[in-house]
A = this chain, B = another copy of it.
Amino acid sequence: MTTTPVRRGRPGYDLDRLLLVAAQTFTERGYDGTSMEDLARKLGITKSAIYHHVSGKDELLRLATDRALDGLTAAVEATAAVDGRAIDRLEYVVRRSVEVLVDELPFVTLLLRVRGNTAVERHAISRRREIDHAISALVAQAEAQGDVRPDVDPALTARLLFGMVNSLVEWYRPTRHGAGRVELADAICKVAFTGLRQS
């Protein structure tokens, strides 16, 4: 059981609330387009107060992207525990990924915008690449087992699949309390695995 740590001193923002606002604003205005003043104004505190919580702007980015990556990594790792054919594990990781995208939308959206111009961004991209490789290997395995179409390169298939899944951050807007999360995953799996054509 998790006990709330004893909060001492003057109450105010904790890191979680700060991170959420930072991730949302970085996504909305872009990392470079967001000034520390912008964040401070949204939080209702001064710029220098932010430096009480983090060492600088790039630590905000690091913590926010790490949060998304931790969720996605957990989704991929949970897949290993699923038994069955590779294609079943693939569908499972798609469903888990959709859940993470919805639950951690501001952080995953930010992650998917990162391009690798700073050390923090390169670290995030490196972690993303590991996840992509794991999924790509899963697709290749499913193809070797005869469950994925053999006429398309598995690496390309994996990219198209997660191109579709990740596009979620471009248009999905949360309804109250993540309603329809499962229905969304259902629809994505239907279209991705059996195609949009009526057969």
Contact = CB atoms under 8 A, between A and B. Distances in A.
Contacts of A156: 187
Q: Is the interface of A mostly helix, strand, loop or mixed?
A: helix
Interface residues of A, number: 46
Interface stretch (A5-13, A23-31, A51-59, A64-72): A23-31
| Residue among A150, A152, A164, A165 with the highest chain B CB neighbour number at 10 A | A164
Identical chains bound together, number: 2
Nearest to A156: B187
Interface in A71-126: 87, 113, 115, 117
B117 A160 contact: no
A20 interface: no
B117 A28 contact: yes
Interface of A: 28-33, 87, 113, 115, 117, 139, 143, 146-153, 156-157, 159-168, 170-171, 187-188, 190-199
